[in-house]
Structure 1
């Protein structure tokens, strides 16, 4: 079924990863791309995205998490549809904005009323600790990288509401509702145009500390020719200082982990102000070990004056 949206132009309905799907994305920016453009993606840095769009590197095979989401998507869609019999749910396709062709959307589904699209349906699976990532069900409290993707899709399609259906790490179904924000959409478009300009003028983003940036640089230079590069003083000093700082930080973290493990005793979880700071886990017959919580709060040590006041 061909479904047009208020501002979305249907390009086609192709399987993810197909040649047609890749061709549609090559010169356009989708929702997950925009999370990377803004530095909000946990998986793709701005530097890697730039080189992907420039054709200098290619994506590898789908990860286990991506494969899991693909196989579970239809079941989660049917769960949401069963909870909302007042709507019809159609599978999505690949859309571009009618006027701004660089804007791309691949919605997981469209919510229809009397055959007319009235909302977006996005489907997610998440293996992370729910309390650290997702807010209370029924709210709009979803991870920032998903919010970026959804605002982009709403802007492409001309829809005002997105329903988000999630299967959490605890195998619990949840749903959230996100509304279109015109100010956020304007910021996204401006950043998208800046990114596309940087491609046109061959100006890649600065290096950052993302793993995907380092992976990209490795892919850009696959050969080893046996030569030696003489570093400047600044280059050598910066790298050596970073390595020494890393060693010191690892020792400091291990010190604090030992203190935390003793403080927790037989407890499973350590928390502060509603945040999970750490959990104790075990594999097989081995002794339990401490694992840091995800998205730890930025808690700065108190000054002497603050300690005295407390």
Structure 2
């Protein structure tokens, strides 16, 4: 039987409570994710491990304060467009298993714990009239332009820590014990990974989430950090403009001025370093040092260079 990955199926539910099949970006979807709740995509920010969202920004969002508006990037757009195709590839690689749209869920005992997995995984029914047993796992579909954050195909530790947090939270929300990852890298490199439930990790995340939500209730704002989205959040806080002088601490003034000077010097040094690397690459594609990839060149149609981009280097184990 040919099964579409985009069809909603009336299959038995996991232990969580289904809120609904909500379209990302709609008012209903946003409502299910705002207020004093923590979703699977937010839990990594709670523990300070998200590369996209800071604790500072998440705190403001949960407190009902202003944050910078969501911006649809090409990476997000194409990740959404390719999700069904990658999910179908996973189904083809796993005969006897069906990945059906999951919807938005909350934990049965903790109403504030939310998750919107990409797919629920069921045993493939023998025919279209048979209803399979309850879902036993989840499928997460990801796309990545370069894949530097992902390990080798099938590696036990191949999933980036922020996605591992997401997977543990999803399982803890729905009462399941395995998440499969189907990942498309650079548009052609397909990889798979598995994350199994870990009660100790789940408890760490739950405790951190409860403390975070309590800090929101108590008005305990996280300290300002160096994340770009923290700066964007602070930018949108003022409501008005007063043409007055505001006295600030001397140490903060010195930190700002020194950082400005260091940035100017770093920019000059970076330009020199990029020029040296690009000159070495010439008409090539990548710069390597002792077998390690350092940077890659993106050419224009005429062969000249559009940009030189660094490879992200993982921390040594």
RMSD: 2.2
Stretches of structure 2 that go unaligned for 5 or more consecutive residues are 1-9, 124-131
Q: Provide closer, same or farther for how the CA distance between residues 5 and 275 of structure 1 changes in structure 2, counting only shifts above 3 A.
A: farther
Confirm whether residue 138 of structure 1 aligns to residue 154 of structure 2: yes
Structure ranking higher in helix proportion: 1
Tell me, in whole angstroms, the C-alpha distance in 2 between the residues paired with 1:269 and 1:284.
17
TM-score w.r.t. length of structure 1: 0.87
2:244 to 223, 227, 231: 227
Does the residue aligned with 1:40 lie in a helix, a strand or coil?
A: coil
Of 19-28 and 88-97, the range deviating more from structure 2: 19-28
1:50 CA drift (Å): 0.9
Q: Which residue number corresponds to residue 294 of structure 2? A: 277
Stretches of structure 1 that go unaligned for 5 or more consecutive residues are 300-310
Tell me, in whole angstroms, the C-alpha distance in 1 between the residues paired with 2:287 and 2:183.
26
Does the residue aligned with 1:10 lie in a helix, a strand or coil?
A: strand
Q: Across the two proteins, how many residue pairs are aligned to each other? A: 296
Does the residue aligned with 1:31 lie in a helix, a strand or coil?
A: coil
Tell me, in whole angstroms, the C-alpha distance in 2 between the residues paired with 1:187 and 1:157.
17
Q: Provide closer, same or farther for how the CA distance between residues 75 and 284 of structure 1 changes in structure 2, counting only shifts above 3 A.
A: closer
Q: Provide closer, same or farther for how the CA distance between residues 61 and 245 of structure 1 changes in structure 2, counting only shifts above 3 A.
A: closer
TM-score w.r.t. length of structure 2: 0.85
1:206 CA drift (Å): 0.7
1:61 CA drift (Å): 4.5
1:291 CA drift (Å): 2.4
Q: Which residue number corresponds to residue 63 of structure 1? A: 73
Does the residue aligned with 1:220 lie in a helix, a strand or coil?
A: coil
Tell me, in whole angstroms, the C-alpha distance in 1 between the residues paired with 2:27 and 2:282.
54
1:139 CA drift (Å): 2.4
Matches within 5 A, 1:1-310: 1=10, 3-6=12-15, 8-26=16-34, 27-58=36-67, 59-113=69-123, 114-127=132-145, 129-130=146-147, 132-140=148-156, 141-221=158-238, 223-272=240-289, 275-285=292-302, 287-288=304-305, 291-296=308-313
- Report if aligned partners of 1:278, 1:290 keep a CA contact under 8 Å in 2: no
Residue by residue over 1:180-200, the C-alpha shift from the partner in whole angstroms, topping out at 9 and shown as x without a partner, is 122221111111111101101
